[in-house]
A and B are shown apart, each in its own frame.
Chain A
Amino acid sequence: EPEVTQTPSHQVTQMGQEVILRCVPISNHLYFYWYRQILGQKVEFLVSFYNNEISEKSEIFDDQFSVERPDGSNFTLKIRSTKLEDSAMYFCASSMARDRGQTGELFFGEGSRLTVL
């Protein structure tokens, strides 16, 4: 069964360093997402991406964050200069386009745990 894969599963970095989290969505999906979960807190929406551009982003997704789909398969989240509060589990998800008003199910990856020291 196709699934969303994420790498790395765990990354430890120093504050101020750049981090890139990678995701391979399901191949025929058109919508891509990043969510994050700080330990003990809710899973929060960061950004959605469709047709090679950001379709929606939360207020968490500031100028330090960026996303891109460089080669048609990978979907990456870059944090330019990490802060301690960026420590969290980051989940990638993908879905097919909506059809006749039916929402597409989101398929999630296993997550990438980011620890900022």
Chain B
Amino acid sequence: AQTVTQSQPEMSVQEAETVTLSCTYDTSENNYYLFWYKQPPSRQMILVIRQEAYKQQNATENRFSVNFQKAAKSFSLKISDSQLGDTAMYFCAFMKTQGGSEKLVFGKGTKLTVNP
């Protein structure tokens, strides 16, 4: 079974600074997807960034980038130039590529607060 671990329950950062959220996972699969989802207060979870395990290049979406270390089973999220609107819960998630449905396995989340 897959597991996802987020070791930082809470983090804070000053506006305009950079913050890195950690995520490690455990799987015996070779091909899979990794995701970071953001959940602002009282809002739905939205996808921030996605990484396919077979791709060596780290995914980037504007101010969000990942450091994917497949051998170490590590998938951290870096947020550059943090903005107040980045304040949210961030969930790291894993999905197998095999099988019909798209079942996500989530970590417990990291609550990020961006301070003005």
Contact present for A106 and B47 (CB under 8 Å): yes
A25 contacts B by Cβ under 8 Å = no
List residues of chain B with CB within 8 A of the CB of A8.
Answer: none
Other-chain contact of A48, B44, B101, B109 (Cβ < 8 Å): B101
Nearest B-chain residue to A98, judged by Cβ: B102
A75 contacts B by Cβ under 8 Å = no
Contact present for A91 and B45 (CB under 8 Å): yes
A42 contacts B by Cβ under 8 Å = yes
Contact present for A110 and B44 (CB under 8 Å): yes
Which of B13-21, B59-67, B73-81, B92-100 lines the interface with chain A?
Answer: B92-100
Contact present for B106 and A56 (CB under 8 Å): no
Contact present for A101 and B108 (CB under 8 Å): no
Contact present for B47 and A56 (CB under 8 Å): no
The minimal Cβ–Cβ distance linking A95 to chain B, given in whole angstroms, is 6
A40 to B3, CA, bound (A): 17
The minimal Cβ–Cβ distance linking B90 to chain A, given in whole angstroms, is 12
Q: Hey, what's the 0/1 contact readout for A12-45 against B, CB within 8 Å counting as 1? A: 0000000000000000000101010000011111
Which of B33, B102, B106, B107 has most chain A Cβ within 10 Å?
B102
The minimal Cβ–Cβ distance linking A69 to chain B, given in whole angstroms, is 15
Contact present for B103 and A109 (CB under 8 Å): no
A99 to B83, CA, bound (A): 34
The minimal Cβ–Cβ distance linking A106 to chain B, given in whole angstroms, is 6
Contact present for B100 and A43 (CB under 8 Å): no
Q: Given contacts A42-B107, A42-B108, A103-B33, are A31 and B101 in contact (CB under 8 A)?
A: yes
The minimal Cβ–Cβ distance linking B70 to chain A, given in whole angstroms, is 17
Contact present for A104 and B44 (CB under 8 Å): no
Residues of B within 8 A of A (CB): 4, 33, 37, 42-47, 50, 91, 95, 97, 99-109
5 contacts between A and B (CB under 8 A): A41-B108, A42-B109, A50-B101, A56-B100, A56-B101
Residues of A within 8 A of B (CB): 3-4, 31, 33, 35, 41-45, 48, 50, 55-56, 91, 95, 98, 101, 103-111
